[in-house]
Amino acid sequence: MGHRLSKIYTRTGDAGTTGLGDGSRVDKDCLRVDAYGTVDELNSHIGMVIAAGVDTCIAQQLLDIQHDLFDLGSELCVPGYSAIDEAMIDKLEEMLDAHNAGLPALKEFVLPGGNLAAASCHVARTVCRRAERIAVSLARIETINPPVIKYLNRLSDLLFVLCRVLARQDGQTEVLWDKNRRQTQREKE
């Protein structure tokens, strides 16, 4: 394989446009660029979750997801190209079911936080939701492969479950929203 990038700066984007994978040029703030840029941001946050310290099984699953997200981003970068399929979504659902099986039922909302891995995973989850929203907006004006949106939706669900799993690492617990905290504070005063 040849060199993908022999020169990092090209100056071709200095006027506010960028090249898509099919060679066409678009404004840097168009929805397609926003979509694959947000997927890239998500991929970076998943790298932070791995770096925060997770067990080997979860680290490998997240690494596989990072590869999927690179494929998904390339699909968004090249109009008409498809890389995401239903089998990839099925794989996410299998992981989701396996991780969720050992968790207690939720009775309150979970606040983003806990340990570093769980908090990092919450950031990844929210960026995933944003990527999904942008992909939905893009799908209203351009044709994209429907499994892209489904993949991002399922991934955000998986990331939420992983937040719960990671919060329990080393005997810790997740942070729950206390809807009565203001009332309790007033009673203490």
Domain residue spans of the chain: 26-183
pLDDT at residue 27, as a whole number = 58
CATH architecture label of 26-183:
Up-down Bundle (1.20)
pLDDT tens profile 77-88: 888 899 999 999
Is 38:130 a contact under the CB 8 Å cutoff?
yes
pLDDT at 179 over 90: no
Residue 186 CA, distance from chain mean position: 39
Is 81:143 a contact under the CB 8 Å cutoff?
no
Is 35:134 a contact under the CB 8 Å cutoff?
yes
Asked which of 5-14, 55-64, 102-111, 150-159 is least confident by mean pLDDT, the reply is: 5-14
CA 17/CA 142 separation, integer angstroms: 18
Asked which of 20-29, 30-39, 151-160 is least confident by mean pLDDT, the reply is: 20-29
Structure tokens at 35: 């979509």
Q: Within 13 Å and on the Cβ side, how many CA atoms surround 60? A: 3
**Nearest to residue 35, comparing CAs of 150, 152, 155, 118?**
152
Structure tokens at 93: 């659902």
CA 37/CA 103 separation, integer angstroms: 33
